[in-house]
Structure 1
């Protein structure tokens, strides 16, 4: 009976949906924080494979001015499916659902250099002007190495 209750609770995850202006406000409100923003989808196998890596990295940097944000680009109409998908994983990092209908607009907002392919990860710190997109998969070690190599933080 306890197992059934826990299983039902896991399926009841409610992801916040965000607009571009929400993301921008979030990033600019913390100018000294390096945001590691991963764009992913439930239909993208490489994205799914790297989610635990981002979660591990999130745990590793939880006491540093680094914030991992996992942004699902699944269609907002598939919200229940995305929430069930997340509910089956025990992710600690923050997960949000992008609620934008014109991909070319939000892709360009993220970075003019981004083709829109996923997985993609944006490293951004508004206080220093840091903003770099990578169209590749990451391990937690890769994330740490990328931040160190670019001088974006001490790990």
Structure 2
């Protein structure tokens, strides 16, 4: 029992320490948790914006590699009525240990939504009938046009697709 208490105290004290050189002022991770019914209105625009919705997860290496591109697009084009939304498909039980730290570390400022809906066989074809469910995947749309991409993007390729929807 005494050994268990010592181990717990050691873990607690170590977890409160930050690594040398680590920025302890990282922004707090903010996101919303939706089921698919709550996400549906986000996928149905009612304004004149162009939306880029990226489906990703912290465990998906190609997703992680392209996330900085979506951050750059958000930073550079949000003033031109382009809205980037990042829909995480991470496991809800990993929110505290993976998702929150990831959002903070990468300083993601686009809107982040955690899609917590176990009925993927129902909602995946509603996003796009051809989507296999593989990640990363991106949906670009306006009120009048919609395109789905089950692939990774370079910045140049994403901008080329975005130009089909709006003048940059």
Q: Same fold (TM over 0.5)?
A: yes
1:123 is displaced (CA, Å) by 1.0
Bigger drift between 9-18 and 108-117 goes to 9-18
> CA contact under 8 A between 2:30 and 2:112: conserved in structure 1?
no
Give the Cα separation in 1 of the matches to 2:44 and 2:124: 18
1:124 is displaced (CA, Å) by 1.9
Residue of structure 1 equivalent to 2:166: 153
User: How does the TM-score come out when normalised to structure 1?
Assistant: 0.85
Match of 2:123 among 91, 98, 106: 106
What root-mean-square deviation, in Å, do the aligned CA atoms of Structure 1 and Structure 2 show?
2.2
Give the Cα separation in 1 of the matches to 2:79 and 2:159: 14
SS state of the match for residue 105, structure 1? helix
Give the Cα separation in 2 of the matches to 1:75 and 1:93: 20
SS state of the match for residue 131, structure 2? coil
Deviation string 1:39-63 (CA, Å, 9 cap, x unpaired) is: 0011110000000010001111111
Residue of structure 2 equivalent to 1:38: 54
Deviation string 1:52-108 (CA, Å, 9 cap, x unpaired) is: 010001111111221100110011121112111111111222211111111112211
Give the Cα separation in 1 of the matches to 2:157 and 2:108: 19
Q: How many residues align?
A: 148
Give the Cα separation in 1 of the matches to 2:146 and 2:30: 29
Unmatched runs of 5 consecutive residues or more in structure 1 = none
Unmatched runs of 5 consecutive residues or more in structure 2 = 1-19
Asked if residue 91 in structure 1 is aligned to residue 108 in structure 2, the reply is yes
Residue of structure 2 equivalent to 1:132: 147
Match of 1:75 among 72, 84, 91: 91
> CA contact under 8 A between 1:147 and 1:153: conserved in structure 2?
yes
Match of 1:48 among 53, 60, 64: 64
